Amino acid sequence: KRYHNKMTTARPRITQDIERHPGRHNNQAILKVIQEKIMEEKDRRPFYIVNLDDIVNKHKHWVKLMPRVKPFYAVKCNNTEPVVKTIAALGAGFDCASSAEFQQVLNQGVGTDRIIYAHPCKDPQDIKRASEQGVDLMTFDNKYELIKIQSLFPDARLVLRICPQVNKGVYEYGEMYGCAVDQCKVLLEKAKEMTLVVVGVSFHIGGFCFDSMAYQNTIRLCREIFDEAKAIGYNFSLLDIGGGFPGYAVKGKPTFADVAKDINTALDEYFPKEENVVVIAEPGTYYVQSAFTLALRVIGKRVQRSAPSDKEKDKMPVYQSTLWGPTLSPTDLLVQNILLPELDIGDWLYVPNMGAYTTVLATSFNGIARPELFCLVSDEIKAGRGI
């Protein structure tokens, strides 16, 4: 489940500087580092291994597969310092949802031209802060947001966020965000009447959206809105195709390469290069999910049914098991009914692909200590990128 570890993975402390490890970091290498960490300190608490090479490789892969689409990393997905620092060094842009996020990014020396303030419902204080800092590209999806922006930052460059064309069953936002397609024209007319500067269209299909037609259908719709805007007197120059790109390959589901291919085709058809429309995206999960591996220690155990005898154990080496986080909350359920070998107090488990919406959704509930981050980067990447 996407948020399954939210209770236990409280915001990490970075207690160590980034460690340099020669060579590439495949799964075996990560496991070896986990083992070393466990051996180093017998009673170590849970920790993450962060493979920064993985983030760099993801970026390279993106640039290769979708050269027309400039990534603006969605900070909300994982705002830990090594992640933001690495992505800043790679030259990507940033999608920020609050003034705290754009301040964090600006502190890394990122220019305002590399930031989109992509929250359609902004705190007025944050709009003021954006105006002071010159973070002038921001999204909106209704007239009340326009009224706020007009009074606090009338020169802002606005991007209309629309409701994507996604199969309803898999769209996680419902009617929460995005202007309904049949309302876009009226809203753009309103913006024009208010003399606001609207520069383009954005959408976000949502995470874990496996509707393979979603990007294509919505890009086609964006073309129609570009044309409608022209009739109203706007000359749009920006298309923002949001996030929702897979962080690792899931069997039977479209891969990043599949999605990239569909997007490239749709862009060539509806936004040919000669038009010089700037195309950006807001990937979060894609950049960080596979870079984080969580190592967990078993601190308690309870046998619900009678334990099998030694003779039965040989026949049945795995058991229906449930893993709970360390707090007293009944919602602190990590995973239910999975088959595991018998675990004992002091055993360690490791969980790959834990970089997206984990550390950021942590709580300090029960005062449970926060997992540390141990970052790895190869000499090659560190030297090449100044990370």
By the 8 A CB rule, do 145 and 172 touch?
no
> Does the active-site annotation cover 204?
yes
Q: Strands (DSSP E) along the chain, which ranges?
A: 19-20, 47-51, 69-74, 93-96, 115-117, 137-140, 157-161, 197-202, 238-240, 278-281, 292-297, 318-324, 333-341, 348-351, 372-377
- Under the binding rule (CB under 6 A), the answer on residue 82 touching ligand PLP is no
Which residue in the set 12, 46, 243, 254 belongs to the binding site for ligand PLP (CB under 6 A)? 243
CB of 71 or CB of 326, closer to ligand PLP: 71
- The SS3 of residue 298 is coil
**What type of residue is 128?**
K
Q: Is 128 assigned a catalytic role?
A: no
Mark residues 40-79: x for contact with ligand PLP by CB under 6 A, - for none: ----------------------------------x-xx--
H/E stretch holding 62 reads helix 52-65
Strand partners, 324: 333
CA distances from 286 to 14, 77, 244, 281, 305 (A): 22, 10, 8, 11, 41
Q: Which C-beta is closer to ligand PLP: that of 118 or that of 162?
A: 118
Binding region for ligand PLP (CB under 6 A) out of 192-200, 243-251, 268-276, 373-381: 243-251
Q: Provide, rounded to whole angstroms, the least separation between the CB of residue 72 and ligand PLP.
A: 9
Minimal distance, residue 286 CB to ligand PLP, in Å? 6
The CA distance from 180 to 201, in Å, is 13
118 binds ligand PLP (CB under 6 A): yes
Cβ distance to ligand PLP smaller for residue 200 or 244:
244
Residue where the block lists tokens 């073309």: 223
How far apart are CB 134 and ligand PLP at their closest, in Å? 21
Active-site annotation holder among 59, 76, 85, 119: 76
Number of residues that bind ligand PLP (CB under 6 A): 17
**What is the C-alpha to C-alpha distance for residues 365 and 77, in angstroms, rounded to an integer?**
21
Least distance to ligand PLP, CB of residue 287, Å: 8
Which active-site residues does the annotation give?
76, 204, 282
